[in-house]
Structure 1
Amino acid sequence: MKTIRKKIMFLSVVIWLIITLVWLLMIYSNQKTIEKYNEILQRYMLIEHVSQSSQASINALNEYFVNSAEDSKNRYAGFSRELKDAQNKLLGLRNPNNYLSLMNYDRMIASQLESMDLAVSFFHHKTDAKASFHFDEAAKTSKYISETTLSLISGELTTYADIYPQMIQQSNDVKMLSFATLAATTFIILLFFYKFSNDITEPILTLTVAAREISRGNFERSVDIRTDDEFQFLANTFDRMRINLKNLIAEMRIKAQVEHDLQEHKLLLKESELRSLQSQINPHFLFNTLNTLAKKAYLEQARETSDLIVSVSDLLRYHLKSLGSPATLRHEIKGLEDYFAIQKARFEERVQYSIQVDEECLSFQVPSLTLQPFVENAFIHAIEPYEEGGYIAIRIRDEGADIRIEIADNGPGISDDTVRSILAGNRQTEYKGHSTGIGIDNVIRRLRLFYGTSDVIRIASDHRTGTSILLTLPKEGGHSFG
């Protein structure tokens, strides 16, 4: 990942390289101009040095002939060497314009050196006449060299007369090139700065817009920044924060709705309890009346009537219990037996039933009035409409982790649509008639709430075999719903 620091360092290096290249280009161009000037100047100085060395060597030789001093001899030898060295360097000055002049100039230098050497040789052999003759020849040659030097310098000036304007033009071109390079460099640097500033300002602007949208409550706009640096990490983090805030607010809204529904449910429950209290007669008065009737029937030898009144009294007492309190299966079975006793008194032999319960299941707790609504439904739809009556079987088994309760009848069965409607908790499936007033959908909701799972009931129905309701109640679990 490229960090902003790396981008800044890269931009600084690029700017430094561009400035360095411009500086090197200007130095190189200036150096070439100076070298050209130096080359021309060195040519002039070398030609002038030949003339000066030629004259100095003649003067030193003359002084040596006059006083024969060792210093004079050494001075002559030094100037002679300088003249010889300058002669060798003249070869580097040749060009098509001065080739012949330089060749004559070279021969004159060679002639002067030869004449001076002969003069020195005859002087050492005491041959003054010949030494004087060769000295005069050397002096004449030196004079010719001086004259030729002026001619060569004039020729050099003529030769390089066209080069000077070119050098001036080249210098001007270098200035223009410098300005052009400076302009191009400035443009490139501005481009780099523009790109770099965009890489910083655009992500900041995007984050600013996203923050403004979130502050307005709009969590749908995603933050998309692709810069491969800290801004992308910041954008991804900001986007995750946006999603988390969106989910959190959605959860808060759901919780608020649930709390609202719960409060509404509590209000409805309170209202229902109030209406129920308003519609109830005094329970103690009712129980006392039923007990009095039961004793009176017993005294009058109407034992069946007495037993029926006791069953009604017990069943009423159980019904008046708070629906918010759980009950054991033992109490549920006792309530069913009272209910069957009352129905047997009504329908006599048209009602047949059986209750099979594993002993270890009797202490298992369930919401009160769980089984009776299913049994009542079976009576109303499977037995009461038919003259031949019907049969209801209740089987309660311990299945290890679960308690299985099966309520089966041999009635005409129910349709698949009705089964789906019951399982979906549709209130329209409540049966009407003389019953507890508690619908199956209410029982199913209370079971699901009590055990914390929706998979508590299954319904199998066929028009030939009847309807079977299977309740699967887990032993682990069970919550208060009051």
Structure 2
Amino acid sequence: MRHLQNKIWSLAVVVLLIMVVIWVSLTYYNEKMQDQYNQILERYLVMNELSVMSQELVTALNTYTLHPSKENLEKVQQYKHQVNDRTLEMNAYKHVDNEAELTNYTHLVNSVVELTDQSINFQLSGETDTAKLALSEALHVSDYVSELRLSVIDAESSSYDRFYREMIERSEALTELGIWLLLLIILLLLCFTYWFSQRITKPLESLTYSAKQLSKGDFDAQIITNSKDETAILASTFEQMRININHLFKEIRQKAKLEKELQQSRYLLKESQLLSLQRQINPHFLFNTLNTLSKKAYMEGSMETSDLLVSIADLLRYNLKHMDQPTALREEVYVLKQYVDIQKARFTDRLTFHCDIEETCLDVQIPGLTLQPIIENAIIHAVEPNEDGGVITFRVTHNEQRVAIEIEDNGPGMTSEKVDELLDSNTQTVSERSTGIGFKNVVQRLRIFNGEHDIVHINSQLGIGTTVTLYISKDRGEKKDD
């Protein structure tokens, strides 16, 4: 719970910082007003001291004129230095409202100092009368300094009155500012409290929603939280639980799928066994009859008829033997050629068959009776309904992993819906015009044999033709050889 405690302490610190900022602002404002008030008082004091010191300077000068001595001269010099210091200090108190009055005031004080220097110089040079005239003028200027001090103080008083009124206005403005600051603080606290509560409640709401989804059986929605406190640990635990349950469900689905495929495999096996039983009606009688007819045709000089009967016998023998077990692609190709020879005898020049086979691929294992149903479908749809016949091309190529078997025809083609229907393994159909092993049956047997789903591709265009491609895994074939 440390992170949640940190958030609560953060809220307290923010409130404390806001109060400190307000206190510092008010303190600074009050000190500024106090400084302005102190400056006015200090100006009054400095002006009074400067007026008194100028009078004392003239008094000391008068004493030195009446009784010239070194002690009296030093006293005059001492008062003169004090007056100069106070004059420099007075310049620091000038502002826009009193600059003219203070400038005149300091000039008069400087005039008193200058007249004092002149009187001393005349006294030292023996010009006593001239020194007394300078002293008289210094006395006159000193009196004028005292009068001017009163006028400056009056001007300062009017300035002080304005300052006092401004201070009252500022006090009222400060009260209004305090109200607005209070409202602003309340608003900021409400906003921050809302944001703070959202940072706590939002992750909890997200976890609550995720828990409801899990209770409904939805285990695919990922549980995500942007929080970095204890709720993040709780969310991570929920997410791990969701992943484990989801994996468990996937394993159950996979087992169910494998069981379904096993049932389908058993169904296909029973179907193939049934078809095999149906075709094994007195097989020795059929073989002996076909062999007898073949030899009789050969003896009568009908070589083509003899070869045709041999092909039929070989085809029948292969169908009965390899229905339920894999065989080498080489044997499938041999029987396929026998079947094409039989069909050529039927369609003569209307059937054109091309082969392009890589011999290195012929040792791969393949389920028995895989190629004949596809070639038969191509003949039924591409050759039989067309008066000019059709062209069927058979190719066998390979890469490092798989062998590709292509059966291409120039028939009418199929729609994409028909292609999807042929590749759909949810239904089982048997072609009425083929050997009994329908196309879907071939696809399903190949998928079970290879242990993969994507092993049959159909590329078909209306009016152009159809290409069926079968992919046989080389690894699968090697295992079969073993």
Work out which of the two has the higher radius of gyration on C-alpha atoms and give 1 or 2.
1
Tell me the TM-score normalised to structure 2 length: 0.47
Tell me the TM-score normalised to structure 1 length: 0.47
